[in-house]
Amino acid sequence: MIENWAPSDMPICCAVGCAREVGAQLVSLGVNRYILAYDDEGSLRRKVPKMAYTVKGETGDWEVVVGLEVHAQISSQSKLFSGASARFGAEPNENVSLVDAAMPGMLPVLNAECVKQGVRTGLALNSKVNKRSVFARKNYFYADLPQGYQISQYEEPIIGEGEIEIDLEGGETKNIGIERLHLEQDAGKSLHDQSPTKSFIDLNRSGVALMEIVSKPDMRSPDEAAAYVSKLRSILRYIGSCDGNMAEGSMRADVNVSVRKPGEPFGTRAELKNINSIRFVRQAVEIEAKRQIKLIEGGGTVDQETRLFDPNKGETRSMRSKEDAHDYRYFPDPDLLPLELNDAYIEDCKATLPELPDAKKHRFIDDYGLSPYDASVLVAERETAHFYEKAAKASGDPKAAANWISVELFGRLNKSGVALVDSPISAEQIGALIGLIKDGTISGKIAKDVFDEMFQSSKDPGAIVEEKGLKQITDTGAIEAIVDTLIAENQKQVAAYRDGKTGLLGWFVGQVMKQTQGKANPGVVNQLLRSKLDT
């Protein structure tokens, strides 16, 4: 038994230390993480919260504070203020109108579809839709921004505050605040690798509609930042407002990182610009936090600046000083009237939303009995959730369907580099396979061999079982004959089992399964062996 267990007023760090001394187990309960410690009889003695993520420095632990500005390209056929195509992959400067090129006298005309997608996204993020919003000119020089200013929103964005729930390790969740969502046009692209002496400009992206989604600084670890981007991407893809293709640049993140001693005010943040993968978001936070800690502990100060993350070198480097809002000289764009929305319009947008990931996750937990982790995995993509529900319905066993999809199918798809949409095994076939296990036609072990054949040939499981003669032997008489012979020929093992080495039961089961090529019903085998060995 544990003596002198940590009192209730002991600091958490001390209590965690005590837990480690007795081999405590780290588990997740609801939205909190706990260290659970048990006495040697298995009784729970106490639970204490696990300490938050920190980075170790020379002067002690540091806390990381993260906020993100995610730029998501709106799924629309044309750009935000012109009729030019927003299609990705066109030849350089193929999708450029006179408006995008900022020719004299050209006036912007707001794309109604982009407004609708912005409102739908705000509703999906549990955010306030502002009935009045204003487009402003954000003045700064980019070589690939023909106007010399960007049309964006500043003081009056289309979407106000909200929050989303992110999924963390072990089924935990955490709410992350949304500060705002505003609409703006994208800049073009400078190409520096086409010539050793010249840079080229591609304006295809100039004027493409973006949603800039700004979080509150609520994240406290690289994993939380990655989980936030993952959940945001999932929501956007569910509702179809952005395809979330980070490799093509249709979704990218500016990551704001600062560090502080736990409990102290926020430190000075640095912005890591245009990070285009969830893995890089995690890496960038880790690397930038360590850089800032080393700088501060060395007597320096963190500058408010924009930095670039180099994943190949594993470092961040300075790009330019970070401007404040007044440096951009925002003012309302005189060519665009304020955008006025009414309740009927907002309700119409709301009616177009599908069941969102969090609602679907909680339904899977409540209706299908899935764990929070399994439910989170299966709802991450809308297509995956739909596939799972079809398999669950076909099998009549939602938990088994979740296991076969998340472990067996996903494992083979990942290894083969095949997307779920191109899966050689259908949801109905998975349901049929589970049905064969449930009715005793095949064992779980043989089912995996059948699954391999299904993945290779796309054949139905029933056909494979018939062709290969894989039906499970359930004839008690046939199995009993094998068991009797086995016992008669292995009296030494029988005597050892009866002398207390009950682990030998597994050896006997294995021998029966070997002789039947794995076709014997394991339940029948175990029952017969126990009845005969225990007499």
pLDDT tens track for 296-316: 999 999 999 999 999 999 999
Give the residue-averaged pLDDT of 243-250: 92
Q: Assess whether pLDDT exceeds 90 at residue 355.
A: yes
User: Does one domain contain both 176 and 296?
Assistant: yes
Q: Are residues 463 and 520 in the same domain?
A: no
Examine the domain organization and report whether 423 and 483 are in the same domain: no
How far is the C-alpha of 384 from the C-alpha of 300, rounded, in Å? 49
pLDDT interval class at 478 (50, 70, 90): confident
- Give the tokens for residue 204: 């295809």
Phi, psi of 101 (to 5 degrees): -85, 0
The total of structural domains in the chain comes to: 4
Among the candidates 289, 315, 348, a domain finishes at: 348
| pLDDT (tens digit per residue) in 3-21 | 333 333 333 333 333 333 3
Q: What percent of the chain has pLDDT over 70?
A: 89
Q: Could you report the per-residue pLDDT of 373-391, keeping only the tens digit for each?
A: 999 999 999 999 999 999 9
Q: For residue 57, is it within any domain?
A: no
3-class secondary structure, 341: coil
What does the alpha-carbon distance between residue 256 and residue 488 come to, in Å, rounded to a whole number?
74
**Model pLDDT, residue 533:** 83
- Using CA atoms in the order 279, 127, 377, 223, what is the torsion angle rounded to 10 degrees? 30
Measured distance CA(112)–CA(350) in Å, rounded: 16
Domain boundary at 468, 490, 512, which? 468
The 10s digit of each residue's pLDDT in 47-63 is 434 457 999 999 999 99
Residue 479: the pLDDT is 77
Question: Do 467 and 499 contact (CB within 8 A), yes or no?
Answer: no
Furthest CA-CA distance within the chain: 100
pLDDT value of position 33:
42
Over range 477-492, report the average pLDDT: 83
Do 194 and 213 fall within a single domain? yes
> 37 and 114, same structural domain?
no
Residue 275 domain-assigned (yes or no): yes
27 pLDDT more than 60: no
In a domain, residue 56? The reply is: no
Averaged pLDDT, 441-452: 90
Domain boundary among 305, 328, 348: 348
Kindly state the average pLDDT of the residues 478-482.
79
335 within domain boundaries: yes
Among the listed ranges 161-165, 293-297, 441-445, which one has the minimum average pLDDT value? 441-445
Local confidence band at 475 (pLDDT 50, 70, 90 cut-offs): low
What pLDDT is attached to residue 34?
Answer: 43
394-414 mean pLDDT: 96
Residues spanned by the domain of 330 = 63-348
186: phi then psi, degrees, rounded to nearest 5? -85, 160
Mean pLDDT lowest for which of 28-42, 168-182, 330-344?
28-42
Domain match, 17 and 160 both: no
Token digits for 52? 């938050």
**What integer pLDDT is reported at residue 326 of this predicted model?**
66
**Given a cut of 50, is residue 77 above it in pLDDT?**
yes
Q: Are residues 169 and 285 in the same domain?
A: yes
33 is a domain residue: yes
Residues 417 and 516 in one domain: no
Write b or e for each residue in 331-360: b if 16 or more Cβ atoms lie within 10 A of its Cβ, otherwise e. ebbeebeebebeeeebeebeeeeeebbbeb
Please check the confidence at residue 32 and state whether its pLDDT lies above 60: no
Q: Give the pLDDT confidence score for residue 323 in this predicted structure.
A: 67
Q: How confident is the model at residue 270 (pLDDT cuts 50, 70, 90)?
A: very high
Same domain, residue pair 134 and 258 = yes
Q: Which of 425, 432, 519 is nearest to 469 (CA)?
A: 519
Query: What would the mean pLDDT of 407-421 be, rounded to a whole number?
Result: 95
Residues 207 and 321 in one domain: yes
Q: What is the mean pLDDT of residues 314-319?
A: 94
- Average pLDDT on 336-356 reads 98
CATH code at position 511: 1.10.10.410
Between 342 and 193, residue with greater pLDDT: 342
This prediction's pTM: 0.81
Given this model, what pLDDT does residue 45 score?
A: 40
**Please, what is the average pLDDT of the chain?**
87
